[in-house]
């Protein structure tokens, strides 16, 4: 019988013909590999390889041939075992043993020789990926408060990774699986060391299992930590010397691997230092993330109040340096900055109300001729940015608050001036008299307004004084004099029509001027000639 491994799972067999008995062997003599039968039973044949001279090859060991199920059934069984979604160590052993008995694909029906092996292989890959993920999850959540917890974690990894349970017979014969086991053991060891506990042996490679694993560990690899079951951070000279002794006791490739370990010892020390530096960096990063999370939690707890705004320099985000490679820290910092930005937007209405409350102008100040050119109005209503706050939101809010306050004060000023004018009128009842005022170019564009409304219908650009005589007497006159140009004035005469409305009959301007450019002149024209164009504004 001859084994020719190709692609890891393909085998070819030579057929033995003739009677079988103890000591029988295929003696054709024209092959490099022959076999000798040692035991022959109804359910198994135990044999051993011979070299071309007919000598036994003890380094190869004996093997046993047993009857197997139909090839299709074996493949189906392996796929079924590989379908477990949360595999246990027992599931892993069952699959490993079943997969070792997979027959060559050439024994399958011709049409199934492509699909069945491929589907079976994919199912096994998925199984081992899930298995590794499950073990890693348990490693991550294992408590580590005392040394007994470290021992329990070591028991977990030892039970999860026996040397002979793997996708390819032993733990070292599938490179991807070896790397995955290495990751789990490294993480388990790191957690134990970070908890300041002693690291127990994390992989149970004892007796023949150690020697078999050492023999199958590919030359030129750096998986000594897996073979020892200890992360490099936990290695010292004692660990290395013990490994040398154990390797020397292995007959197959033991001395070779021992020599390799001696050569690799400097690299192992470098790896230990590198892992320790990485652990220190991880601790630093974890501390930075914890600090960031605390700052974020504080920001989330903030209410968008003016008090908090002022206490935090305008909800200014702290300038926090992070490791650019730490994506989690970057995410936390991003969330923090967005939260502070949202707080600045949320506090804006309350901030403007608070700022408006800081502006104080008395009625006397509002009635002053220069009220709007005072320092209070020019310099953002006297509002200043508190020291230490450079938030553009505050500057905008100050401008908005001042503009809002000025609009309010304008309304209050108009109200005060109107009240003053109305209070100066001799007969309050006359204020209800209606005037007919033109609002457009035709006779139909008229508007009825009371005398009170007329007296108060002047803006800041037309600051004027009123004097009325003769109302409810034989003549009705209203004199309007510009306070800006005292020499200018306008006198309007009125008649009362049948409906009791005041109709202007004559308008005279003083010699000093005609109030050109002032709205009062246009209004006088409207009183005199309501259908004239430019009734609402003076002609250019």
Question: What pLDDT tens digit does each residue of the chain (540 aa) get?
Answer: 333 333 344 344 444 444 444 444 444 444 445 667 777 777 788 878 777 777 777 667 777 877 778 889 999 999 999 999 999 999 999 999 999 888 888 888 888 888 999 999 999 999 999 999 999 999 999 999 999 999 999 999 999 999 889 998 788 888 899 999 999 999 999 999 989 999 999 988 776 788 888 888 876 667 888 888 899 998 999 999 999 999 888 887 788 889 999 999 999 999 889 988 888 888 888 888 888 888 889 889 989 988 888 788 778 787 777 777 778 888 888 888 899 889 988 888 887 787 777 777 778 877 777 776 664 555 567 666 666 666 666 777 777 777 777 777 888 888 888 888 788 777 777 778 776 655 555 545 556 677 788 777 754 444 445 455 544 444 566 666 655 555 556 666 766 666 656 666 766 666 444 444 444 444 444 444 333 333 333 444
Sign of CA dihedral 63, 69, 71, 75: negative
| CA distances (Å), origin 241, targets 211, 236, 262, 336, 493 | 16, 9, 9, 52, 124
pLDDT tens for 481-536 read: 655 555 556 666 766 666 656 666 766 666 444 444 444 444 444 444 333 333 33
- Cα(137)–Cα(129) distance, rounded to whole angstroms? 12
The answer to whether 421 touches 462, Cβ cutoff 8 Å, is no
Cα-to-chain-centroid distance, residue 270: 36
The answer to whether 75 touches 108, Cβ cutoff 8 Å, is yes
- Spatial neighbors of 166 by CB under 8 A, at least 6 apart, are 96, 173, 174, 177
Give the bridge partners for 429, in sequence order.
none
The answer to whether 260 touches 219, Cβ cutoff 8 Å, is yes
- Cα(219)–Cα(434) distance, rounded to whole angstroms? 112
| CA distances (Å), origin 1, targets 15, 37, 51, 62, 230 | 7, 11, 12, 13, 41
| Contacts within 8 Å (CB) and 24+ apart, 369-373 | 369/463, 369/483, 371/409, 371/413, 372/406, 372/460
Task: Read off φ and ψ for residue 48, nearest 5 degrees.
Answer: -145, 150
Domain boundaries defined on the chain = 142-280, 303-421, 428-528
For the chain, the straight-line distance linking the first and the last C-alpha, in angstroms and rounded, comes to 119
Strand order of the sheet with strand 45-50?
A: 34-40, 45-50, 62-65
**Element (DSSP H or E) covering residue 422:** helix 392-424
Residue 454's nearest CA partner among 468, 472, 473, 469 is 468
């Amino acid at each position: 019988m001859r084994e020719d491994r190709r692609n890891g799972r393909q085998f070819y067999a030579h057929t033995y013909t003739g009677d079988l008995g103890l000591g029988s062997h295929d003696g054709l003599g024209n092959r490099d590999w022959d076999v000798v039968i040692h035991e022959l039973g109804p359910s198994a044949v135990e044999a051993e390889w011979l070299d071309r001279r007919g000598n036994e090859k003890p380094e190869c060991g004996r093997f046993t041939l047993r009857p197997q199920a139909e090839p299709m059934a074996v493949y189906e069984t392996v796929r079924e075992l590989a379908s477990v979604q949360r595999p246990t160590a027992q599931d892993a052993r069952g699959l490993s043993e079943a997969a070792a008995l997979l027959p060559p694909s050439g024994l399958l029906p011709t049409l199934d020789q492509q699909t069945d092996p491929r589907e079976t292989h994919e199912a096994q890959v998925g199984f081992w990926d899930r298995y590794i993920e499950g073990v890693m999850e348990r490693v991550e959540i294992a408590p580590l408060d005392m040394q007994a917890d470290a021992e329990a974690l070591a028991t977990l990894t030892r039970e999860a990774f026996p040397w002979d349970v793997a996708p390819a017979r032993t733990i070292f014969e599938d490179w991807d699986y070896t790397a995955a086991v290495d990751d789990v053991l490294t993480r388990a060891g790191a957690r134990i060391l970070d908890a300041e506990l002693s690291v127990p042996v994390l992989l149970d490679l004892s007796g023949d299992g150690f020697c078999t694993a050492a023999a199958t560990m590919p030359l030129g690899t750096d998986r000594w930590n897996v073979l020892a079951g200890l992360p490099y951070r936990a290695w010292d000279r004692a660990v290395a010397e013990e490994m040398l002794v154990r390797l020397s006791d292995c007959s197959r490739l033991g001395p070779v691997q021992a020599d390799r370990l001696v050569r690799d010892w400097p690299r192992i020390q470098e790896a230990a230092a590198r892992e320790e530096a990485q652990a220190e960096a991880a601790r630093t990063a974890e501390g930075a993330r914890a600090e960031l999370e605390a700052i974020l939690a504080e920001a989330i707890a903030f209410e968008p109040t003016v008090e908090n705004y002022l206490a935090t320099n305008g909800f200014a985000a702290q300038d926090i340096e992070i490791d650019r490679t730490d994506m989690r820290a970057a995410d936390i910092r991003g969330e923090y900055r967005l939260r502070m930005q949202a707080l600045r937007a949320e506090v804006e209405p309350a901030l403007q109300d608070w700022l408006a409350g800081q502006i104080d102008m008395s009625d006397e100040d509002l009635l002053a001729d220069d009220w709007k050119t005072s320092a209070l109005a020019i310099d953002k209503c006297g509002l200043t940015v508190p020291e230490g706050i450079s938030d553009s939101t505050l500057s905008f809010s100050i401008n908005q608050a001042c503009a809002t306050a000025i609009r309010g004060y304008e309304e209050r000023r108009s109200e005060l001036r109107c009240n003053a004018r109305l209070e100066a009128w001799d007969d309050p009842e006359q204020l209800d008299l209606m005037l007919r005022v033109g609002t457009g170019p035709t006779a139909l564009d008229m508007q009825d307004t009371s005398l009170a409304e007329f007296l108060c219908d002047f803006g800041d650009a037309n600051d004027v004084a009123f004097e009325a005589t003769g109302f409810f007497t034989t003549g009705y006159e209203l004199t309007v004099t510009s306070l800006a140009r005292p020499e200018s004035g306008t006198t309007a005469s009125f008649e009362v029509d049948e409906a009791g409305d005041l109709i202007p009959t004559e308008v005279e301007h003083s010699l000093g001027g005609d109030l050109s450019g002032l709205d009062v002149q246009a209004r006088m024209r409207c009183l005199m000639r309501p259908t004239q164009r430019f009734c609402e504004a003076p002609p250019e």
